[in-house]
Structure 1
Amino acid sequence: MTNTGGGGPRPRGTWWREGTITAVAFALCLLGGALEVDDKALSPPPAAAYLIAVVSCAVLPARHRAPLAAMAATTACGMLVPPFGLLLSPPIVAPAVIVAYSLAVRAERRAASAVLLASAALPVASDLVVAFGSLSWQDASRMAAVAAFPLVAGILGHSTQNRRAFLAAMEERARRAEKSRDSEARRRVAEERLRIARELHDLVAHQITLANAQATVAAHLFDTRPEQTRKSLRELVETTGDALDELRATVGLLRQTGDAAAPAEPAPGLSRLPTLLESFRRAGLEVSVHQEGTARPLPPGVDLTAYRIVQEALTNVTKHAGTGSARVRLAWNRDRVTITVADDGAGAVAAPGADRPPGYGLIGMRERATAVGGRLSAGRRPEGGFLVTTELPLPPAKDARRAGGPVAAGEAGDAP
């Protein structure tokens, strides 16, 4: 058996409905008790009819909480109809029909079917025992109707049960779909926040590091070399101006107004690598670039990832390596481009000074590489210094399209 009904407080409308059903069943029982074979006029119901009507209808309110017990009681009353000298007819078994419907709605299908068959057969069997040897076709049709009514009620109950199960399944599916949409929305928001956080980190770390280096040079040469100081200050103004422009463009992604936005600047890629390297050279870091293989266009996401990884790796060299030079190598293969950034410094890119908390540079670079299907490794070199290596996937050569493209061999060249 499955659900056998609830036991909580019932609303006022439910009590009115139960009272109406019980009253109608009681009236039908009395009507069935008043019927007699071949009697055209209705006579008042005998006392036995009242007894059967009261007992069978008294259990109707309990059919929701205990349908099996209610079915057993109404079936027993139906079996007592022939021994009490009453005519077994569909009206007198009306309570059993009502209980049969409730049982089919609440009980498991196989168990309910077995109980309903028994409840339909037992009253008929009792009538057959009493009327054995004197059955007519009229009696046979009457008994068939008595047996059919509970079975029909059971079929209707099973249909109601199936409909309720279908509606419950649809509601559960809708609830899960809503939950899935909420989870997907939260996941996308988290991914977007992480993406913007990486952009802000790379932007701020790069530009502030360059500005700090240029300001340090200007402060060091202020008294002895005024011309060099003015040059450093002019470069500092350019660096901070570029930082403000890029910061304004990145933060603009967070705006959610209905105004038409100005055309956004294209995302940086390897085509802007010479400009990036020149900014480091102005800050005092000599960067050499070496390319192997034939440069090919990169998808926008991979192009931006390659640019940001080189930017962050060189920023870390400037901040932590304690050296004035670094080497960038781009190796183009059939299905991937390998980018390495190496230095010979005594510091550690991955471990800032003791007075500074650990940053998110390496974490962000790994996240960027993984997001586009690549991989990144970073660590100390056996001969000294630090090495960052990343492998990024390339599209098939026949599908590559130039849309800005990466750095050409002639653009990067071999810097001193």
Structure 2
Amino acid sequence: MLFDAAVALGCVLSPGGFVVHDHPWGIPPGASLTVAVVMGLATLVRRHRPLHLCVAAVLLIPLGLASPVLPVSLYALAKYGRSRRSLLLATAAAAAGLVATAVLIGPGEDLPFVMVVAPGLYIAVPVLAGMYAGARRQMLEGLREKAERLEREQVLLGRQARMEERTRIAREMHDVVAHRVSLMVIHSGALEVSVKDRKTVQTAELIGEIGRQALDELRQLLGVLRTADEDEDDAPRSPQPTLEDLAALVEQSRGAGMRIDLERSGTCRPLDLTAERTVYRLVQEALTNVHKHAGGASARVHLRYAADALHLTVENDVPVKLPGPRLPSGGNGLVGLRERVTVLGGSFEAGPRDDGGFRVSAVVPVKGTPS
């Protein structure tokens, strides 16, 4: 807008825009000044109405009042105009008007020079410059549009690749994990029917219950993996485990033969759902490691509520017997727990004790007031 205002002011103050006295057609200075001001202000709309401005400038050529506006209007028509036919007609009309005006009120013996130089300076130069600027502007717009299209295509390809990978993961998990867990549940059910020993039946019931819970959680996970990116907010989600489910988790481990003490101390304070889920998963992973690597050892789970944090400790004694066949492990359980706790702004430690046992401890920030 500042540039357009400067162009309009330049057209108004240009010496050729109006004639102070001795106009060839006898036009008063006040009228010529008014026309010059109106035409100068009209250049403000040259980007949106270049053809109208050019037509007005061509019509004022015989009066000699549009000399500064004519090249500006022709440049704008060549750059912003949509019709090359309109540009050709306006250029021809402007050239004809300049030649006719030079013939009628030209300076005598300088007439041939004026008839050649005036069309070149006032018509050819602005038209060619406007055509070049218009072509360059269209090229830049085309390149910008192409870049935006390529970026959109890249986003779509990335989304498609993520969806295909998630679908592949879900398919592999369903084929491998779900199938194996389903077989485990089926065999546990058959064991409940065929065996008369009470303890064996209880163990089979516990295995079946744990297997069904694993299948439910696995179906939820597979449902989220198979959900498209734009439908993630609508993905099926059931209530996630919280600290209230710790007792049931400990009872499941006790049912498998492990000796576990669950202790709570301090004033209980509410945690957000993410923190409670993190604490639950930490206890779950720690007890799973005790099952894997310290079979028969007693374990303790201690939750101590402080003023601003929850201190969690899961430790086990030295196993009284050698563990059975080692269960498969990816070695990433403790790493994942450390990442979960660190994201919440807490601290995590895991390592062997001096007496040969193992300890997992974490400090999770607490938000809220005592409940």
TM-score by length of 2: 0.52
Which of 112, 129, 142 is 1:167 aligned to?
Answer: 142
Deviation, structure 1 residue 273: 0.7
**Could you list the per-position Cα deviations for residues 252-302 of structure 1 after superposition, in whole angstroms to 9, with x for gaps in the alignment?**
4456699xx998641111111111111111111122223343222222222
Which of 353, 359, 365 is 1:381 aligned to?
Answer: 353
1:323 touches 1:344 (CA, 8 Å); kept in 2? no
The 5-angstrom pairing of residues 231-242 of structure 1 reads 231-242=202-213
Deviation, structure 1 residue 145: 1.7
1:305 aligns with 2:303: no
Which of 250, 254, 257 is 1:277 aligned to?
Answer: 250
Letter in 2 for 1:164: M
1:323 touches 1:346 (CA, 8 Å); kept in 2? yes
2:295 touches 2:324 (CA, 8 Å); kept in 1? no
- Work out which structure has the larger RCO, using CA pairs closer than 8 Å and 6 or more positions apart in sequence: 1
Distance 1:190 1:394, change over 3 A: farther
Letter in 2 for 1:170: E
Q: Tell me the distance in 2 between the aligned counterparts of 1:190 and 1:138.
A: 78
Distance 1:178 1:241, change over 3 A: closer
Letter in 2 for 1:172: A
Q: Tell me the distance in 1 between the aligned counterparts of 2:278 and 2:165.
A: 19
Q: Tell me the distance in 2 between the aligned counterparts of 1:253 and 1:140.
A: 80
Deviation, structure 1 residue 136: 0.8
In structure 2, the residue matched to 1:332 is 305
Q: Tell me the distance in 1 between the aligned counterparts of 2:328 and 2:224.
A: 30
**Does the residue aligned with 1:327 lie in a helix, a strand or coil?**
strand
Deviation, structure 1 residue 162: 2.3
**Could you list the per-position Cα deviations for residues 336-356 of structure 1 after superposition, in whole angstroms to 9, with x for gaps in the alignment?**
333221112359xxx997785
**Does the residue aligned with 2:261 lie in a helix, a strand or coil?**
strand
Distance 1:311 1:172, change over 3 A: same
2:293 touches 2:326 (CA, 8 Å); kept in 1? no
**Does the residue aligned with 2:241 lie in a helix, a strand or coil?**
coil
2:346 touches 2:363 (CA, 8 Å); kept in 1? yes
**Could you list the per-position Cα deviations for residues 152-198 of structure 1 after superposition, in whole angstroms to 9, with x for gaps in the alignment?**
30232023202321331233134234434654676698799999999
In structure 1, the residue matched to 2:119 is 145
Q: Tell me the distance in 1 between the aligned counterparts of 2:203 and 2:324.
A: 25
**Could you list the per-position Cα deviations for residues 200-257 of structure 1 after superposition, in whole angstroms to 9, with x for gaps in the alignment?**
x99999x99x99xx99xx9xxx9xx944334433433443444444444444445669
1:202 touches 1:308 (CA, 8 Å); kept in 2? no
State the Cα RMSD in Å: 5.0
Runs of 4+ residues deviating >6 angstroms = 187-198, 201-205, 351-355
**Could you list the per-position Cα deviations for residues 119-138 of structure 1 after superposition, in whole angstroms to 9, with x for gaps in the alignment?**
xxxxxxxxxxxxxxx95145
**Could you list the per-position Cα deviations for residues 392-413 of structure 1 after superposition, in whole angstroms to 9, with x for gaps in the alignment?**
3433x26x9xxxxxxx9xxxxx
Distance 1:244 1:144, change over 3 A: closer
In structure 2, the residue matched to 1:50 is none
1:176 aligns with 2:151: yes
1:330 touches 1:340 (CA, 8 Å); kept in 2? yes
**Does the residue aligned with 2:311 lie in a helix, a strand or coil?**
strand
1:136 aligns with 2:136: no
**Could you list the per-position Cα deviations for residues 91-138 of structure 1 after superposition, in whole angstroms to 9, with x for gaps in the alignment?**
xxxxxxxxxx9xxxxxxxxxxxxxxxxxxxxxxxxxxxxxxxx95145
**Could you list the per-position Cα deviations for residues 45-86 of structure 1 after superposition, in whole angstroms to 9, with x for gaps in the alignment?**
xxxxxxxxxxxxxxxxxxxxxxxxxxxxxxxxxxxxxxxxxx
Q: Tell me the distance in 2 between the aligned counterparts of 1:367 and 1:181.
A: 30
Paired positions, count: 250
The 5-angstrom pairing of residues 15-414 of structure 1 reads 136-148=110-122, 149-180=124-155, 182-183=157-158, 226-254=197-225, 265-345=238-318, 356=328, 358-370=330-342, 372-395=344-367, 397=368
1:330 touches 1:337 (CA, 8 Å); kept in 2? yes
1:331 touches 1:339 (CA, 8 Å); kept in 2? yes
Q: Tell me the distance in 2 between the aligned counterparts of 1:184 and 1:139.
A: 68
2:347 touches 2:364 (CA, 8 Å); kept in 1? yes
* Aligned residues with identical type, % of pairs: 30
